Amino acid sequence: MPLRPSINLTQRCISRLSLIPRRAYAQRTRQTRPPPPPPFNTVPTCPEPTCGCAEPPKMPDDLPLDREGPLKGAIAGYAEHVLVCTGNADWPSRIEDDNDGDCLAADLKELFGRGGTYSDVGIFLTLYVNYLANSFQPFHNVSVLNSSFPSSTSPRPQLQTTSAYLLPSFKYIPFLPRVSFDSVEALVKGFLLPEKLHRMHDGLSPIHRDRLTRKEGYQGLLPGVQDVRDILVLICGHTGRDARCGIMAPILATEFEEKLEKEGFDVQHGPVQINLNEMQRIQGEAGEEKTSARIGMISHIGGHKFAGNVIIYLPPDLKMGSEPHPLAGHGIWYGRVDPKNVEGIVKETILKGNVVADMFRGGIDAQRNMLRI
């Protein structure tokens, strides 16, 4: 008696075969379906300059720039940038080795790094965030950068302190004493730990979960903390890591200063002045009409081949005329920025609130949502 395949097996085979064209169609549909519009206005390209600008510098023959590869989404996700004010830009390749390891970057790595007290929400996150940057992000990634901004002058001359910006929280921490680790822990517990843990941490004990979440009471241990109301233009200039950004950054900084001043911005150079006896804005005394800006070099943010690399942080209370600025509270990342692009970036992004699409690497909004096109 000839054997016949079971009805169930036959039906399963037919069912699978019938799915092939559907899957192919679904895949084609997904590939051709246009992406949703971004939650911000864009312009396709950077406008051509209307005035003179510097020539792009020549790069070493063995370090070419990438002008063709994919640029969109070329950033790792993060919840907070800690921008350490070092007053210089000659950092070693690993910023935690600066000043023989006696620096805020090293202190934060000690707490967030492998085996550190807060490694559950620190380096652990960074390992995941590299490939989750374009999708769901389950962790709270803190990214530490050095900057060339000078620290504020300590109210006690005999006490050495370091300053730091927290972005996109837009907070300025003027005085972190270098004589005690208590201030670093206050910074972490009061400002950097997440307010709420992700559900993937639900398996931790209550005391462990409590240790990994923010406590606002620690914020009062750091004097002079203020809201940031300056526009911050951050340019990767980490020569110790890669010469390309180190060569490009000073030229871009000069261009940004010239173009911002031409548009009426008050470009600040010195340290932020803090008066502990009076509440005053980082931007200056209340009543000033000029919007202030600061331009600084920062350490490695990835993508040296895309030099120049620029991040523009626009403060939450920034106005465009009498209306809120469309990108207020955002951080916008650009790559492949040449001197000729600076005028267009100032006009489109800072003045009009438009993102230049073909230079856009990614960004972050005030709610820590990573921005893509």
* pLDDT, tens digit (0-9, with 9 covering 90-100), for 212-237: 899 999 999 999 999 999 999 999 99
Can you tell me the distance from the alpha carbon of 327 to that of 352, in angstroms, rounded to the nearest whole number? Answer: 9
18-54: pLDDT as tens digits: 444 555 445 554 556 776 788 899 999 999 999 888 8
Predicted local confidence at residue 116, as pLDDT: 76
Please, what's the largest Cα pairwise distance for the chain?
102
Predicted local confidence at residue 16, as pLDDT: 45
Lowest-pLDDT range, 145-159, 228-242, 284-298?
Answer: 284-298
Predicted local confidence at residue 27, as pLDDT: 52
State percent of the chain over pLDDT 70. 82
The domains of the chain, with CATH numbers, are: 43-72+229-371 (3.40.30.10), 94-165+174-226 (no CATH)
Upstream peptide bond of 168 is cis (omega within 30 degrees of 0): yes
Question: HSE on the CB side for 315, CA within 13 Å?
Answer: 21
> Comparing C-alpha atoms, which of 137, 147, 189, 195 is closest to residue 364?
137
Question: How far does Cα 188 stand from its chain's mean position?
Answer: 18
pLDDT at 250 over 80: yes
Can you tell me the distance from the alpha carbon of 142 to that of 371, in angstroms, rounded to the nearest whole number? Answer: 17
Can you tell me the distance from the alpha carbon of 355 to that of 334, in angstroms, rounded to the nearest whole number? Answer: 9
Q: Average pLDDT over the chain, rounded to whole?
A: 84
Phi-psi group of 100: left, alpha or beta (phi > 0 → left; psi -120 to 50 → alpha; rest → beta):
left
Residue 288 confidence class, pLDDT cut points 50, 70, 90: low
What SS3 string covers the chain? CCCCCCHHHHHHHHHHHHHHHHHHHHHHHHHHCCCCCCCCEEECCCCCCCCCCCCCCCCCCCCCCCCCCCCCCCCCCCCEEEEEECCCCCCCCCHHHHHHHCCHHHHHHHHHCCCCCCHHHCHHHHHHHHHHCCCCCCCCCEEEEEECCCCCCCCCCCCCEEEEEEECCCEEEEEEECCCCHHHHHHHHHHHCCCCCCHHHCCCCHHHHHHCCCCHHHHHHCCCCEECCCEEEEEECCCCCCHHHHHHHHHHHHHHHHHHHHCCCEEECCCCCCCCCCCCECCECCCCCCCEEEEEEECCCCCHHHCCCEEEECCCCCEECCEECCCCCCEEEECCCCHHHHHHHHHHHHHCCEEEHHHEEEEECCCCCEECC
Residue 211 confidence class, pLDDT cut points 50, 70, 90: confident
Question: Which residues sit opposite 287 in a β-bridge?
Answer: none
Question: What is the amino acid identity at position 249?
Answer: A
